[in-house]
Amino acid sequence: MAAEQDSEARAAARPLLTDLYQATMALGYWRAGRAREQAEFELFFRGCPFGGAFALAAGLRDCVRFLRAFRLRDADVQFLASVLPPDTDPAFFEHLRALDCSDVTVRALPEGSLAFPNVPLLQVSGPLLVVQLLETPLLCLVSYASLIATNAARLRLIAGPEKRLLEMGLRRAQGPDGGLTASTYSYLGGFDGSSNVLAGQLRGVPLAGTLAHSFVTSFSGTEVPPDPMLAPAASPGPKVDLTARVEAWLDGVCAHLGLGVQEPHRGERAAFVAYALAFPQAFQGLLDTYSVQRSGLPNFLAVALALGELGYRAVGIRLDSGDLLQQAQEIRGVFRTVSARFQMPWLESISIAVSNNIDEKELARLAQEGSEVNVIGIGTNVVTCPRQPSLGCVYKLVSVGGQPRMKLTEDPEKQTLPGSKAAFRLLGPEGSLLLDVLQLAEEPPPQAGQELRVWPHGAREACTVRPAGVEPLLRLWVQQGQLCEPLPSLAESRAFAQLSLSRLSPEHKRLEWPALYQVALSDKLRALVDRLGAGGSS
């Protein structure tokens, strides 16, 4: 496989971003003469995150980038030689230098797919030594991406379709890689954009951001803009001194609000004027640096009305402290009265954005019917996934040399499902989701309208189902190192995620105490599990 000349491929993961035991096992396979045996692994999770009943599959694009660029450099091999036994045969390191993923095949759920426990997110097949080395990087690339996408989807379900959700968590993320992953996959999960500029550059995530309190507090009010003149928005008329017009409008605003003209903070007003001169088409005020009602709001209104006089329209305000819901209600009321008083009808409907450590509970409050909040910025509670910091994905061997392999263990929940498998989603009469079924790859696929006997995972009794429709879940993305079809764009995967969620029943979509979605085994797969479980894997 020719390595992609893609800066993201190296950024996503390097071959040595792995656990040492992958390298020690590689040496063991090579020494046993088994390096090129054909093997298949499955990457899946055992339980849905956050107490919910679904997850969203994500990270496939990063995995494909990683596979296409996979190659151990001389420096990588030299380092492995320094940590493996000094008497290791030099021929092993020559073998490592020649490794790539040209013999690797990957089937996977498309990004944005609904995913459920024990259904593979990825199936990876190829030479045993190579596909073993891929375990840790693939887990790293898929687990966090899928967790973030699922967390974002939950937040979108709470917010509803109308509120704009912005991810603002880069400064709270677990390092730069975690920040980029969170910004990327929160967008896939349903957020509208991110503050992360690198995510915009590398991944095409829509960007949003204006100003912080530091910008406001940096002004004292004594500063003189080098050029306070602003031309009208849509006409060739003469330029106007914006600072002077703001001061003129401030008198009328303060009179309307019952404030003294000296109450609004001069420095804050100077900051707003400076920002408006830089962004007259996109002016937004951050109102809570000093006092929302006595300073931030009147200063914003004076600047917004001065801009309006010149044909510009302020885009909105942001609140970052206090009772966000109540303040939004009060501010919307002021916008309506000021809009009517000064005949600026656009002012009453400008956007109100809020932020400040917003979690699921506060988001539900901000999204309730009648809320005047339009935009919600979430940082810590999307990027850190505090309710569950790991999805717990695993990567398990299911066949070697065409023979099924099964992990038994002392813990029944950690037993694996053996053999190369296919996965299907069975549908009801109107496209509703009935259940997912796992079967051996050699079995004929289920047919719409035909009765099928299946075993719900973990159940002792079989049941029958007659699907009205059947959808194959796992698509072939990489075959013998070659990309089989173009990967969807991030925006396309985001749209697919929302479509996928729309098909999930309200009972399964509930965020608290949802109905569990069934994943079942075919008769033949269940029989193989029982046989290997009774007699051991052979």
Sheet of 463-465, strand order = 463-465, 452-456, 519-522, 433-440, 421-427, 469-472
Angle between helix 175-188 and 490-502 (nearest 10): 60
Torsions phi, psi of 111, nearest 5? Answer: -60, 135
Whole-number Å distance between alpha carbons of 217 and 220: 7
Asked whether 167 and 187 are in contact (CB, 8 A), the reply is yes
Is the whole model's pTM more than 0.85, yes or no? yes
Asked whether 395 and 138 are in contact (CB, 8 A), the reply is yes
Give one DSSP letter per residue of 258-298, joined into a string: T--TTSS-HHHHHHHHHHHHH-TTS-EEE--SS-IIIIIHH
Q: Which residues contact 226 (CB under 8 A, 6 or more apart)?
A: none
pLDDT value at position 390?
96
pLDDT value at position 5?
45
Hey, what are 423's tokens?
């996965």
pLDDT value at position 140?
96
Longest Cα separation, the chain: 90
Torsions phi, psi of 424, nearest 5? Answer: -135, 150
Whole-number Å distance between alpha carbons of 121 and 134: 15
Q: Which residues contact 418 (CB under 8 A, 6 or more apart)?
A: 398, 399, 404, 405, 406, 528, 529, 532, 537
Q: Which amino acid is at 8?
A: E
Question: Which ranges of the chain have pLDDT less than 70?
Answer: 1-12, 536-538
Of the chain, the end-to-end C-alpha distance in Å amounts to 33
Torsions phi, psi of 50, nearest 5? Answer: 65, 20
The model's pLDDT over 440-498, given as tens digits with 9 standing for 90+, comes to 999 999 999 999 999 998 888 999 999 999 999 999 999 999 999 999 999 999 999 99
Whole-number Å distance between alpha carbons of 44 and 523: 21
pLDDT value at position 4?
42
Lookup result for tokens 């809009």: 339
460-481 in b/e burial notation, b at 16+ Cβ within 10 A? eeeeebebebbeebbeebbeeb
Q: Which residues contact 493 (CB under 8 A, 6 or more apart)?
A: 58, 61, 110, 111, 112, 188
DSSP 397: E
Angle 15-17-23 from CA coordinates, rounded to 5°: 70
Distance of CA 220 to the CA centre of its chain: 40
Q: Which helix (H) or strand (E) holds 201?
A: helix 197-203
pLDDT value at position 12?
59
The model's pLDDT over 309-366, given as tens digits with 9 standing for 90+, comes to 999 999 999 999 999 999 999 999 999 999 999 999 999 999 999 999 999 999 999 9
Task: Label each residue of 151-166 as H, E or C.
Answer: HHHHHHHHHCCCCEEE
Is 248 buried (19+), middle (13-18) or exposed (0-12) by CB count in 10 A? Answer: middle
